[in-house]
Amino acid sequence: MSIKLAIAPIAWTNDDLPELGKENTFEQCISEMALAGFTGTEIGNKYPKDPEVLKSYLAPRGLSVASAWFSALLTTKPYEETKEAFIKHRDFLHAMGAKVIVVSEQGHSIQGQMDTPVFKEKPIFSEEDWKLLTTGLEKLGEVAAEKDMKIVYHHHMGTGVQTTAEIDRLMKETDPNKVSLLFDTGHLVFSGENPIEVYRAHKDRIFHIHFKDIREAKMAEVKQNESSFLTGVKEGVFTVPGDGMIDFAPIWEEIEKDQYSGWIVVEAEQDPAKANPFIYAQNARNYIRDITKL
């Protein structure tokens, strides 16, 4: 597959904060993605749910589906409930030609809570939670494999798998043939982790990458004010690569050295009224071209 570049629709319309970008249409979003020079997209809440209809919009613009987010509830709900929803999600992505399924455990998550401090109230999994998570993920990995697909686990702010230690434990306690990893630069730096160390430790398990940048001053405000994850998003803690504090050149060196093959997805959930998504998409594409030659 080599490397392909995609961009997430959350810069145009935010799934967790629908008021951000409610004025932006699906057609505008995908047209501007293509115009900015990307060949892939993840899935947003305005995208058609019928694979053939979605293809009819994406194909003329030269876009493919890289993946889409799936919320697992393995630590708080019976496994069968997650499995049922996962199969529907898997089959949709398979019909769209995707090879990986982004999975994040949302049991005990605070990422969607507007008034809960993302650092102070970060959930910590119990031993029972860890057992439910690891065994459940392996089962989902087996279900994905039925369609020759992989699950890639999304470590995420405000969840039980956020820190380096938690990522390490998840990888150690799951079968590499069943559970892979999504590498997200923005969530690692926001959490206080070293992205290069995480990449080096788990490069053999990484099959999907999110390039996301952080505005350092806004991150400091989130910590100082004990803000929630969503408040941080609204205030602009995230931005596109090249616009924040992260130097992507050494990260790219690791990715290139490892001969990574798969999608790199630009992400930056921002308020599009403050950060024009097309302009930022163009800026991100130019920055990535400069450091990677892709």
Kindly report, residue by residue over 149-199, the tens digit of the pLDDT: 999 999 999 999 999 999 999 999 999 999 999 999 999 999 999 999 999
CATH number at residue 166: 3.20.20.150
Work out the burial of residue 60: count CB atoms within 10 Å of its CB; fewer than 13 is exposed, 13-18 middle, 19 or more buried.
exposed
Number of domains in the chain: 1
The CA-atom distances, in angstroms, between 98 and each of 174, 188, 200, 241 are: 23, 25, 25, 24
Instruction: Answer whether residue 209 shows pLDDT above 80.
Output: yes
How many CB atoms are located within 10 Å of the residue 178 CB? 18
Q: What is the pLDDT of residue 36?
A: 98
227 SS3 class: coil
Kindly report, residue by residue over 63-114, the tens digit of the pLDDT: 999 999 999 999 999 999 999 999 999 999 999 999 999 999 999 999 999 9
Q: Token digits for 205?
A: 């398990």
Q: Token digits for 26?
A: 């699906």
Maximum separation of any 2 CA atoms in the chain, in Å: 49
Q: Token digits for 7?
A: 């961009």
Q: Are strands 213-214 and 238-239 parallel, antiparallel or unpaired?
A: antiparallel
Instruction: Answer whether residue 1 shows pLDDT above 90.
Output: no
Q: Token digits for 139?
A: 């089962």
pLDDT band at 216 (very low <50, low <70, confident <90, very high): very high
**Whole-angstrom distance, CA of residue 156 vs CA of residue 8:** 16
Instruction: Answer whether residue 289 shows pLDDT above 90.
Output: yes
Task: Give the long-range contacts of residues 117-120, CB within 8 A, separation 24 or more.
Answer: 117/226, 117/227, 117/228, 118/157, 118/158, 118/222, 118/227, 118/228, 118/229, 118/232, 119/222, 119/223, 119/226, 120/226
**Whole-angstrom distance, CA of residue 240 vs CA of residue 230:** 17
Instruction: Answer whether residue 239 shows pLDDT above 80.
Output: yes
Q: For residue 222, what are the contacts with CB-CB under 8 A and spacing of at least 6? A: 118, 119, 231, 232, 235, 237
End-to-end CA distance of the chain: 14
**Whole-angstrom distance, CA of residue 222 vs CA of residue 120:** 11
Domain membership of residue 9 as a residue range: 4-292
Dump the DSSP string for 193-207: --HHHHHHHHGGGEE
